[in-house]
Amino acid sequence: MTQKDPEYQYSAPDLTPPQVYPSDFVIKEFHFHTYWFLHDKKTQDKAEELFYKIQKSRFGKPLRLNYEPVGPHPIGSFETWVPIEYFAEAYSFFLLNRGELSVLLHPLTREEQRDHTERAVWLGKPIPLKVDVLPVLSDTEPRQYPELGLGYSKNEYTVLIYLFLILIYIYFFY
């Protein structure tokens, strides 16, 4: 069929740009999931102690202690949200303080199954997760605690202004 045929129909390609999310390019928020065995007083006590230490820290926000399986997590656990700004501090804390507890570290992106598997890192023994309960791809950005202005909620203009002020300071005072 050619353009001269009366039955020829041209349909223009869809040039609508796809929705772009910052997490598709740069990871700015993470979860550290700490695990303990249910009905094991020793590991549960250690997990609770770690949880309360994190509550007093500035590097992240621990969520509730889960005394039963939740989502893909088949044993006792708690999650700690960490923005990129405090990643090194949080990672160091878990390396130095987790003891025998297993900790899953994963990024927060729109691809939750990949985040909990191929993008994940384990500190300690890995725990088999039920990742089939997680969505493959989410339509929303994984922002948590936007009121803190960290991670995906950080205002990039603030960063640029801060860098600009540093350059001015260096220029005039060095």
Query: For residues 93 and 54, is the Cβ–Cβ distance under 8 A?
Result: yes
The pTM assigned to this predicted structure is: 0.77
Q: How far apart are CA 102 and CA 40, in angstroms?
A: 14
Q: Which residue has the tokens 């540093």?
A: 166
* Annotation: CATH topology of 23-161: Alpha-Beta Plaits (3.30.70)
Query: What would the mean pLDDT of 56-60 be, rounded to a whole number?
Result: 93
Summarize pLDDT for 118-161 with one digit per residue, the tens: 999 999 999 999 999 999 998 887 778 787 778 877 776 555 66
Domain ranges of the chain: 23-161
* Sheet of 61-62, strands arranged across: 61-62, 76-83, 29-36, 102-107, 121-123
Q: Are 73 and 133 a contacting pair, CB within 8 Å?
A: no
